[in-house]
């Protein structure tokens, strides 16, 4: 696994000058932006040139209650994607420093037999939830919501079929089946698989409704996750809300509820030295949650009830087609009995994305 790191770096350094176009390192990118529209078309050498991406997010955090500090390299993400035929594309995306270790993000091949229909096999995020499908440089806040951190951070080797329709009422439907053992155990046969389905509907300009379902099982308890998301964009205003209801196959477990809602307003500056300024405010909360893993003690572990308000200020010096910026977030935690997450934090983050 470690041998892939120098190989990717060499490819990145040798090919960047010749790359004529960049694509977002996001798994939610429109299918039609990755594959040319001419079906069964043999691509030219120019069209087959790989597209590279790189993201570096570094931060400083200050615990305002305990007067503690630390620096963190949150993400160092590099990737390559491209097309070899009008019906075949690929992506390989890795994070070199996530949690202090190397971590694969997305490594897959995609087949598109006709316009709008695609099949994917490889390692990927399960297509569930809105924030979960964003890349780090697309986040509105330095930290992901509790909803994403505790409930939807699922990635594994599997297959996904998608159909996308862009007429009248645009929509996309995805359904996938994934292993449940993780990247390192993909060669093992498994008794239980994970299932996911997602629908996104754009009923009118700027508005999107998403409906998601995931059945996940890691040990003996299967967890059924139901998700509803709403997004609305009007000018520089972005409104976003998402709710998850999680039920357990073990009837003695109480269901888990999670919610996040935020508003972000972006002021267009358009100067050579400053592109945009964004102001954002978020509320998120989650009730006690079990991750389904059974430790050696024989008792399932539960995380506690959490609530938080986050205020953010971001300056983008370049926002398109690459992105560079500085973000400042203040996180206010609500204190609950027995909760270790009660210390407010101030976060300064540098964002560099190519």
pLDDT in tens, 190-232: 888 999 999 999 999 999 999 999 999 887 889 999 999 999 9
Is pLDDT at 47 greater than 90 in this prediction? no
pLDDT 10s digits, 104-145: 999 999 999 988 999 999 999 999 999 999 999 999 999 999
> Cβ–Cβ contacts within 10 Å for residue 145, how many?
29
Domain ranges of the chain: 4-353
In angstroms and rounded to an integer, the radius of gyration of the C-alpha atoms of the chain is 21
Cα–Cα distance, 29 to 26 (Å, whole number): 6
Class of domain 4-353: mainly beta
pLDDT value of residue 23: 38
Name residues whose C-beta falls within 8 Å of residue 245's C-beta, 6 or more positions apart in sequence. Answer: 225, 226, 227, 255, 256, 257
pLDDT 10s digits, 286-319: 999 988 887 777 788 888 889 999 999 999 999 8
pLDDT 10s digits, 54-82: 999 999 999 998 899 999 998 999 999 99
């Amino acid at each position: 696994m470690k041998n892939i790191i120098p190989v990717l770096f060499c490819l990145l350094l040798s090919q960047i000058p010749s790359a004529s176009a960049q694509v977002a390192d996001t798994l939610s990118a429109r299918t039609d932006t990755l594959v040319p529209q001419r079906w069964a078309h043999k691509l030219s050498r120019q069209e087959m040139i790989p597209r590279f991406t790189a993201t570096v997010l570094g931060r400083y955090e200050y615990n305002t209650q305990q007067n503690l500090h630390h620096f963190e390299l949150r993400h160092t993400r590099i990737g390559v994607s491209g097309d070899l035929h009008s019906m075949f594309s690929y992506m390989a995306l890795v994070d070199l420093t996530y949690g202090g270790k190397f971590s694969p993000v997305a490594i897959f091949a995609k087949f598109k037999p006709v316009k709008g229909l695609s099949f994917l096999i490889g390692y990927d995020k399960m297509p569930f939830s809105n924030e979960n499908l964003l890349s780090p440089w697309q986040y509105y806040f330095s930290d992901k919501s509790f909803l994403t951190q505790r409930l939807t951070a699922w990635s594994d080797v599997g297959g996904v079929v998608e159909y996308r329709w862009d007429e009248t009422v645009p929509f996309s439907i995805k359904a996938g089946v994934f292993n449940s053992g993780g990247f390192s155990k993909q060669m093992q046969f498994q008794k239980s698989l994970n299932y996911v389905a997602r629908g996104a509907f754009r009923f009118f300009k700027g508005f999107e409704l998403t409906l998601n379902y995931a059945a996940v099982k890691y040990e003996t308890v299967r967890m059924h996750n139901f998700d509803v998301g709403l997004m609305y964009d009007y000018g520089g205003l972005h409104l976003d809300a998402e709710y998850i209801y999680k039920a357990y196959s073990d009837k003695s477990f109480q269901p888990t509820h999670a919610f996040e809602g935020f508003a972000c307003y972006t002021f267009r500056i358009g100067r050579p030295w400053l592109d945009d300024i964004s102001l954002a405010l978020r509320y998120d909360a989650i009730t006690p949650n079990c991750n389904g893993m059974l430790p050696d003690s024989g008792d399932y572990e539960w995380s506690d009830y959490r609530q938080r308000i986050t205020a953010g200020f971001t300056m983008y010096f370049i926002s398109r087609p690459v992105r560079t910026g500085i973000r400042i977030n203040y996180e206010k935690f609500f204190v609950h009995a027995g909760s270790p997450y009660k210390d407010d934090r101030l976060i300064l983050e540098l964002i560099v994305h190519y």
